Chain A
Amino acid sequence: MNVGWTQVALAGVWGGLVAVERKAFLQAMFSRPLVAATAMGALLDDVPSGLFVGLLLELFHLGSANLGASLPDNDTLSATGASAAAASMAAATGSGSTPAIWSLSVLLFLGLGRWGRGVDRFLERYSARLARKALASAEAGQLTRAMRQNQWGMWPHFVLFGLMTAACACAGWLIGPLLDVVPLRVLRGLAWAYPAMASVSAAIAARGSHAKRSSFYAGLGAGVVTLTVVLLALRERL
């Protein structure tokens, strides 16, 4: 078994950076699944894996939002974890990126979103401790020290989510060789699962768009695309 440690380290660093960007700093959407996973694919030299895993997860998580004190599933962790695993799996098999690998990665690592939410909740308690420390420092007249506490809140995000993403990349390297012994019909089933999951995610996205008449607009979009594809196919046949 061969693990690409450079790739594992790259996955960890990128996973940590986007975890910080997701809430603690900037929020310029580098942490959205489409962006974070595509960049992960580019870093691990497998853009298709990142792009198509990211596309599916972007659609799946499109309607979730961090409103007030509520915490949605951590879409960034599921995207970086699944894309890192998919790219590592493809590298480990040596046969390149396939829809079967994308499906397997999504099915195995989608649940990371829930785990990520748990970690977010845990880190809030750490931040609460920092805030108490800052208040105490301000009371004692140590203002610079009080202000510095704000920056300490970011490090645990970087470290914990970075480690989790690196673990996903490692898992990809371990699972990859096992795909050689999986029966062909199972691989075909997994390949069929990708378009099924993608179109289901897009339907979930239409529902999660928060539009007033989302069913009408989604139906309109789907109708126009279906009609166009069918007309193009007919023109090719004639």
Chain B
Amino acid sequence: MSDLAPALSWWVVLRVFLRSLFLQASWNPQGMQNLGLAYAVYPALERLYPEKGLLEVAVRRHLVFFNTHPYVAAAIVGGVLHHEQRIARGEETPDKVVAFKAALMGPLAALGDGFFWLSLKPATGAVCAALVPVLDAWAAVVFLVLYNLVHFWLRAKLYVLGLSMGDRLVEAVARANLPSRGAKLRSVGAACAGGLAAWLALDFGARAGGRFSPLLSVGCLALGAVSYVLVARRVPSYVVLYLAAGLACVAGAFL
């Protein structure tokens, strides 16, 4: 450790961010994202610890178990750089960075899973699927743009927060109020999915049914409602889908 530890250039900081996009490249059940994290922060460690022995020790402390949500991991990666700079300058001991990761990975994983996987992704998917009647294939492009505006903006912001604030990033993340925003997104997703179920039944039913189109449309609407109840009662969704397809096939073939 030295007071003369070199500062991290913007290029190294950017490289670490880009390498953090490979966080799960070798996700494994034992260390989970350990190898990905070590890979991400390696350029910074190389710069901070020119002496090989110190560099080896620094790399090894990031090869231990690590797992969090891959997007919000950016905050931890930024925080690791923050702490490693202080460790290299002799301002704190190496156990601080280990404790920082251990304390944050669980809560941030829960936050990221709840907001990104269980709210933003289904809501954007449902909204853009509902846009298919209007936009056709462009709905897929709108999906990518809408989702990634939020995704990359938050990922970059969390990285900068971690880098500049270290442990204090928790307060900043709490202020973002992601859980309540997620709940609103989930409601939008449910409404869009319900609306789309009705549109698919009515529009495709009318197109495919010929003279039986009212029957097919009403039948599909009823199947949608029944399948909602069946899935809510834990009937596997595969079974429900194949049953519905079988019924429609038989009706279409024999009516």
Contact = CB atoms under 8 A, between A and B. Distances in A.
A41 to B, nearest CB: 8
Contacts of B129: 34, 55, 58-59, 202, 205
Contacts of A63: 122
B140 A146 contact: no
Given A204-B241, A211-B187, A29 B30 contact: no
Contacts of B193: 59, 62, 202-203, 205-206, 209, 218, 221
Interface in A39-91: 39, 41-42, 47, 50-51, 54-55, 58-60, 62-63, 65-69
A225 interface: yes
B252 A211 contact: no
Contacts, number: 341
A128 B26 CA distance: 8
B103 interface: no
Contact of A192 (B126, B147, B151, B249): B249
Contact of A195 (B21, B25, B191, B200): B200
A124 interface: yes
Nearest to B148: A28
Given A55-B129, A218-B228, A28 B144 contact: yes
Interface in A199-235: 199-215, 217-226, 229
Contacts of A118: none
A150 B240 CA distance: 40
A3 interface: no
Most buried by A among B122, B216, B223: B122
Contact of B248 (A26, A50, A189): A189
Interface of A: 23-30, 32, 34-35, 38-39, 41-42, 47, 50-51, 54-55, 58-60, 62-63, 65-69, 99, 103, 107, 110-111, 124-125, 127-128, 130-131, 134-135, 138-139, 141, 143, 146-147, 149-154, 185-186, 188-215, 217-226, 229
22 contacts: A35-B140, A63-B122, A69-B67, A130-B35, A131-B28, A131-B31, A138-B56, A150-B22, A192-B252, A197-B248, A198-B204, A199-B220, A199-B224, A200-B223, A202-B196, A203-B223, A205-B129, A208-B122, A209-B123, A209-B187, A211-B186, A212-B186
